[in-house]
Amino acid sequence: MNQQHGMRGEFHPLGVDLVTLSKLESSTSRPELERTEALLELLDETMERTGSNALLGEFEAYERKKYGLSPQVQHTRRVGAVGLLTGIRLGLPSHLAFRIAYAGTTHDMGKRDPEINNVVNSHRKFTRDDPEREIINQHSSVGADILTTYLHADNEFDITCNTDAIFAAAYHHATSETLQELLETAPDQETRERVEITRLTQVLDVYDALTDPLRSYRNGVDRHEVAKAIVVSHLGEETVIFGVRVADIVEMLPAIKQQLA
Ligand SMILES: [Fe+2]
Ligand SMILES: [Fe+2]
């Protein structure tokens, strides 16, 4: 265990510290808070053991050295943290909330690639045929490759989480039709859950990117409403994730995000 790791309040794989948890206390029931704390602890241990903490730490150090801050890693940590709370709020069992958080935290690992990272952090607007758009699109497969190469596992649960993370990295930008097909052809319950986790990651990912305070909008634009409309149209009005309509999931997000601000 490295020295930085384990110092709660200063570092956590999800960027959620004890100060933030105390904010949760006012708006979260005691059992929910206890579940959240227990799952954060377990995430910390699991991510350390599988090597995803090391990967994220290295990615963060790379961006900080280059830009003074780490926009992409902050984004992935937010997606993981919001995923954990969303899973709990949806009333999902702990193992699913955990798997959602783990996959969310690692979904953009491909943006660590220097060429991709450069383009992503240029904050340029890309036209449809822009060759640089093609470079960004590669982050899904590059991320899946990095995770496949560097993650390791000590037990069945690690294997499940690592497989979720690789799958979510590879498919979090897939079309709604592709994900629906993957769901319908999934051979077992665990794989079906993996597709659902990826769909939820897609919702949280797009919502986070569109409501990022660093992103500029015209004055007066309601970011939540814009993000909701885009997420719902991308995933399809009828799409249900873990039994809940996408629009209803999106409606839960402002309150959840506020808790983590
Ligand atoms: Fe992505
Ligand atoms: Fe993302």
CA of 26 to the centre of ligand 1 (A): 33
Read off the pLDDT of each residue in 82-98 and give the average, rounded to a whole number: 93
Distance in Å, CA 38 to ligand 2 centroid: 25
Model confidence pLDDT, tens digit, residues 220-246: 678 899 899 999 998 888 899 999 999
Domain definitions of the chain by residue range: 18-202
**d(CA 76, ligand 2 centre) in Å:** 6
The predicted-structure confidence for 93-110, as pLDDT tens digits, reads as follows: 999 999 999 999 999 999
The rounded Å distance from CA 172 to ligand 2 centre is 8
Q: Report in angstroms the alpha-carbon separations of 38 from 31, 138, 255.
A: 11, 35, 21
DSSP string, 30-71: HHHHHHHHHHHHHHHHHHHHHTHHHHHHHHHHHHHHHHSS-H
Closest alpha carbon to 43 in 109, 97, 112, 107 = 97
pLDDT at 9 over 50: no
pTM summary value: 0.88
Per-residue pLDDT tens digits for 173-214: 999 999 999 999 999 999 999 999 999 999 999 999 888 766
What's the CA gap between 185 and 149, in Å, rounded?
26
